[in-house]
Every structure is written in C-alpha cells, then in structure tokens.
Structure 1
Amino acid sequence: MPKFKISIGPAALVAAAFIGPGTVTMATKAGASFGFSLLWALLFSIIATMILKEMTARLGVVGQKGLGEAIRELIKNPVIKAFSILLVVSAIIIGNAAYEGGNIAGATLGIQAVWDYSELVGFDFTAIIIGLVAFVILWTGSYRFIEKALIGVVILMSIAFLVTFFMTKPDWGDLFTGLFVPSLPDGSTLTVIALIGTTVVPYNLFLHSSSAKKKWHTPEELPEAKRDIYIAIPFGGLISIAIVSTAASAFFGSQLEINNAADMAKSIEPAFGNLAKYMIAVGFFAAGISSAITAPLASAYALTGLLNIPEDLKSFKFRAVWIAILVFGVVAASLGLKPISVIWFAQVANGLLLPIIVIFLLWAMNQSFLGDYRNNWWKNLLGLIVVVVSIILGGKSLLAAFELL
C-alpha cells in the first residue's frame, strides 16, 4: 500500500501568508460595512489565485524559472527590457513596501490589543521591535522554522473564526446571494479592490514560482504541485469568507467603527468570551510577523531574478533588497498613521498593481521553453479575465479617487 505523505508545499505557505493582518482587517471591515454583499469578490479572488498559481507552478516546475527570471530572459530588445524591468521593479517596491507597512502595523495591533504601553513611555516602539525580530530571522536564514510555528498559530486563529462563523448563525440565503450575485454597493469599490489585493497578492506570484522551482524539478512532479494549490488556496479562501460572514452577522448595521484589534475581538466573544482579546492578539501578531518576513523575502527573490543577481540569502545585494523593504515598512508603521489605514492602503495598492504582474505572467506562459506545458487558449482566456476585471475595478477606483466618477 502506498504511503500517504503530508507535506507543506509552496501553495500552503502562500495561503498562510495571505491570511495575514491585511486579510483579517479587510475581511472584517468588508463584512461590517457591507454585510454579505462583497463575498463574490473573495470567491473571484480564490478562483483567480488558483488560476495564476497553476501557471506559476508550471513555470517553476517545468520551466525551472522564477517569474522575475523569466521576464529578464525572454525580453530581447534592450529598450523594452529596461522599461519592463523598471516597471515591474517599481511595482514590486511600491506594492511590497506598502504591504510591509500593513504587515508590521497589523502585528502592532495584536500587541496593543492586550498592552498599550505608549502612554507609559510616551512612544510606541512596537513597530521597531517587530522590524528587529524580522531582521534577525531573515539575516540568520532560520526564518523557515519560525515561519512554520507562526503558521500553526495562524491556523489556530483560523479555527477560531470558523467556530465563530457557525456560532453567529449567518443568514445562509444572504451568504449565498453575496457569493454568487456580484454587486457594488455605494462606496464599496475600493474595498473590493482591497479584498482582491489581500488574496491575489502580486508578490506571491514571484514567491510561488521560485519556491516551486526549488521543491520540484521534473514535469512528472507537476500533479503534486497542483494538488498543493487545489487544497491550500481554497482553505485559505474559506477562512477569509468565514471572517467576512462573521463580521456581517455581528457588526453589519451596528455602525460600529473598526479601528483596532480590540474592536475585532468582539466578533469572536461568543466563542471565547474574555479570551477573545487574547486570541485576536496572538493571531494578529503571528500573522503580522509571518507576513513581515515573507514580503521582504519575496521582494528579494523577485528582484534578484529580474536583475540577474544570484539567489544567495547571505549575499550583500540580496540582503540589501529585503532590508530596504523592511525599513520602509517599519517607518510607515511608525508614522502615527492609523494601522487600519495603512493596511487598507496596502491592499488597495496590491489590487491596482495586480494586472501589471499578471500580464507579464501570461506572456511568459506562452513561450516555447515550456513545450507542451504552455498555456492553451482557455487558460489564456481565464488569465485575461483576471486582468480585465482587475483593470476595470482599479480604473473605477482611481476615477472615484479623483472625483471623476
């Protein structure tokens, strides 16, 4: 009898990464502000993530290339190559810098939920401490062991939200209507962009292709890579849907403003009573630290591939990339801005940058080096649908921001 082997693959780590403070925050605010009506955006995001991750798996496993490496190698015209690399590098730096600020701000929310010492010392140095923790882990290269422990804590938080989801007794009719009937209530466009941005995180496309390349090396292993995707991503999406639904049942119509983790703790009080505050605190801190490590690392892998720098974790150039992203995140989280606002901006930035990265991925997936594993017409069509939806929503949000819509 063949042995059943359980292993955590790249998609499982990606799924754990997107159940971070951004997902918890945006999902809670979406449910509190718009009820069940934006669940369709999460369903779209889950399907889009699986479509794109299937492509990055083929790119990594069959082509043995990361997305950044593929972009650099396949563009021959030096002018077009320089412009494309500049565009993608800018997108990664802007998106991940904002995302890192949200990660660190989210971790600070966890600490502040149980201990707000800023009034005692006159200065909130939480972001600096979190930044230093992430720095030490990345510098030593031992982040993998700690990340697995943090994923375990995030899973515990996820179980809490699933339990709470059933205890709040959601209206199943409204839930399924929200899942399968798209709608855009007034003022919801940017929230939709944020929900997509927190699930289909652009930097994860680089991270997943590079991770798949390292874990699997032959086309025969592709089914295992796909199995990893089709189990891990829907599970992560289910948690996001549960958080939105819980907030919709607990907060929608109450006019309660969500400003910190203590506010969010009220959504799981039915399940945990006074422990709710501590569950949220541990979950937010774990999710924030895990994502604070992943985002700079993914930036480093993406930019080293684009700029033809060896993927050596201890090289000066590799370290310089993740240090820059980490420092920006600490600064952004320390400016006195509301953490919720920083997290929200990060998710919107991810949603706006998504179509740029996906267009490059689709282009790479149609190249001859993949042989029979190139995209067929329907996979290209699915990818283009993701691009078009992202562009339409992003364009509408920009028009709204400039008061043109």
Structure 2
Amino acid sequence: RIFLIFSASLLTYVISALMAKPDWGEIGTAIIRPGIELNTKSLTVIIALIGTTIAPWMQFYMQSSVIEKGLEMKNYKFTVIDIIIGCIVTVVVAFFIMVACGSTLYPNGIEISEAKDAAQSLEPLAGRLASHVFAFGLFVASVFSATILPLATAFYVCEAFGFEAGIDKSWDEAREFYVLYTGIVVLSAIIILIPNAPLIDISIWSQVLNGILLPVVLVSMIFLINDKKIMGNYTNKLYQNIIGWGAVGALVILSVVLLVLPLAGR
C-alpha cells in the first residue's frame, strides 16, 4: 500500500514540469524530429535510457513477483494489464522529468553532479514549489531503488543457487535471502556516501551496462518462452517473436555502434 501511494507520488514530476513553463511547440517539434547526433555522448545517453527503462533486473523481478504473489494463469490478464499501465506511467514520468530539466537547466547551461543539484537548480528558474516537488519525486524514486533493486537481486541470486527466497519467509526459512538483501543495501549506501563520488557518472554508466547486457537476457527469455516443453500452449505468437527479436537486434546494433564510434573519433 505504501508503494502504491509512492507510485502516485511520482506524478509530482508532471507538476514540476508544468511549473517550469516549457515551450510545448519546441517540445512537439523535438518529438517529431528529434535532433540526435551520431556520436558517443548521444548514443551513451540513448543506451542508458533503454537500460534504465527496460533493465535486465526487471525481467527477473517480474517473474519473482509473480511467484511471490502465487498468481495463476487465470490472473495472467490482470498481470499483463498491470505491466502495461506501469510501462505507460514510466514513460510519461520520464518524459516530464526531461521536460522539467530540459526547459530550465539546459537553456541556462547548468550542469549537475548529483541528483539533488537538479532540484536545487530548479528553484531560481521555476520557483521554490517546483524545486520541492521535484525533490520529493527524487526521494520517492530513491526509496523505490533502495528497496526494489536489492530485492530483485536477492531473488534471482537465491533462485539460481536454490536458496529459499521471499519477503513472506521468516529469517530462519530464507536466511541467505535476507543476508544478501541486507548486504546489497549496506554496500550501496557505502558507495553513495563515498566523498566526492561521481554519482551521476556511476548512474549513467551502470544503466549503459544494463542496456548492453539486456539483449543477453532477452535472447534467453525468447528461447525459454518458445520452448513448448516448458510453456505448453503459452508460447509466443509470431508477432511477439518479431517484436522481441527486433528489440534484440536494435540493442545489439546500438551497442556495437557505441563501441565503434570512439575508434572513429566520434
């Protein structure tokens, strides 16, 4: 219930973007005709956006959450609806984050080295309320990251090694799961608290790594879901395979180009 409330709170990004008074005509033009330059910097950001939106860990977390909830095939359609709504909200929120920052920070040449810099820099440009609303959105996103990412990692590591896993389990039932989860949280906190740590660079390049590794996960998933011995009548339809393999191909091409561009001096 708390996470549901927090999820709704992410809409604060929409409010902060609207308060920034963006040029919607310019934004509409950029959506239709995006000015993307073929260089290492632009491609790095694109792959990072893909990596953070369709992160490999999310695929494992979704299947773990389905098991955790004890869902059956009769609940499948509701799970799909849940995922679709989540995807739409994710894209909408990400869009308004870019609108808020692109309408205020970029035109004024403001660079950020930490996430808080974005919220603080909004104040003189869009007002104190917009800054506070944006900061609250960052807080909510941080809470999600600090809880769900370690949880997802603990889930699939324990599943890989055959350990009991689940937040509904007691300490004695799933000791390895809780030790791993706690250890990841503590390690993450230590990294964040390192003085002058390049947190923005860490965030970006970790998501780039996600984007590069994503095809490996997707290929495994596509082979798995098309295995009739495992999936029975629930294998992928043709159009689903086309979309899946198309996504894999696009990601592989982007990753290869990212590796080649520096060699070409771009």
- Band of TM-score, shorter chain: 0.7 to 0.9
Q: What SS does the aligned partner of 2:63 have?
A: helix
Partner of residue 224, structure 2: 364
Amino acid at match of 1:155: A
Work out the CA distance in 2 between the residues paired with 1:268 and 1:360.
46
* Deviations, residues 16-61 of structure 1 (Å, cap 9, x unaligned): xxxxxxxxxxxxxxxxxxxxxxxxxxxxxxxxxxxxxxxxxxxxxx
Gaps of 5+ in 1: 1-147
Note the C-alpha offset of 1:214.
Answer: 3.4
Higher RCO, 1 vs 2 (CA within 8 Å, ≥6 residues apart): 1
Mapping for residues 251-400 of structure 1, pairs under 5 Å: 251-260=105-114, 261-267=116-122, 273-312=127-166, 313=169, 314=171, 315-336=174-195, 337-368=197-228, 369-400=230-261
Identify if the C-alpha distance between structure 1 residues 371 and 176 changes in structure 2 by more than 3 Å, giving closer, same or farther: farther
Supply the distance in 2 between the matched residues of 1:270 and 1:257 (Cα, whole angstroms).
Answer: 14
Counterpart in 2 of 1:149?
2
TM-score of the pair, normalised by structure 2: 0.83
CA distance in 1, matches of 2:182, 2:132: 31
Count of residue pairs the alignment pairs up:
256
Pair 1:374–1:176, CA change in 2 (3 A)? farther
Instruction: Give 2:71's aligned amino acid.
Output: H
Residue of structure 2 in register with 1:193 after alignment: 47
* Contact 1:304 1:311 survives alignment (8 Å): yes
Percentage of identical aligned residues? 25
Give CA-to-partner distance per residue, 1:44-91, whole Å, 9 cap, x none: xxxxxxxxxxxxxxxxxxxxxxxxxxxxxxxxxxxxxxxxxxxxxxxx
Shift in Å at residue 362 of structure 1?
A: 0.8
Give the drift of 1:221: 1.9
Mark the runs of 5 or more structure 2 residues left unpaired by the alignment: none
- Say whether 1:214 aligns with 2:68: yes
Q: Deviations over 1:317-345 (max 9, x none)?
A: 22343244334323322333122222222
Q: Confirm or deny: 8 A CA contact 1:190 1:348 kept in the other structure.
A: yes
Map residues 73-152 of structure 1 onto 2, 5 A cutoff.
148-149=1-2, 152=5
Structure 2 counterpart of 1:288, one-letter code? S
> Shift of the alpha carbon at 1:203?
0.5
Cα–Cα, structure 1 residues 385 and 180, in superposed 2: closer, same or farther, change >3 Å? farther
Match of 1:248 among 81, 92, 102: 102
In 1, the alpha carbon distance for the partners of 2:2 and 2:70 equals 23
CA distance in 2, matches of 1:371, 1:204: 24
SS of 1:224's partner is helix
CA distance change for structure 1 residues 153 and 214 in 2, over 3 Å: closer, same or farther? closer
User: Kindly tell me: are residues 404 and 354 of structure 1, through their superposed partners in 2, closer, same or farther at Cα, counting changes over 3 Å?
Assistant: farther
Output the TM-score relative to the length of structure 1: 0.57
CA offset at residue 242 of structure 1? 1.1
In structure 2, do the counterparts of structure 1 residues 373 and 404 end up closer, same or farther at CA, with 3 Å as the change threshold? farther
SS of residue matched to 1:349: helix
Partner AA of 2:188 in structure 1? G
SS at match of 1:332: helix
Q: Distance in 2 between matches of 1:287 and 1:388?
A: 30
Amino acid at match of 2:86: A
Q: C-alpha displacement at 1:353, in angstroms?
A: 1.4
Secondary structure in structure 1 of the residue aligned to 2:109? coil
What is the identity, as a one-letter code, of the residue corresponding to 1:356?
V
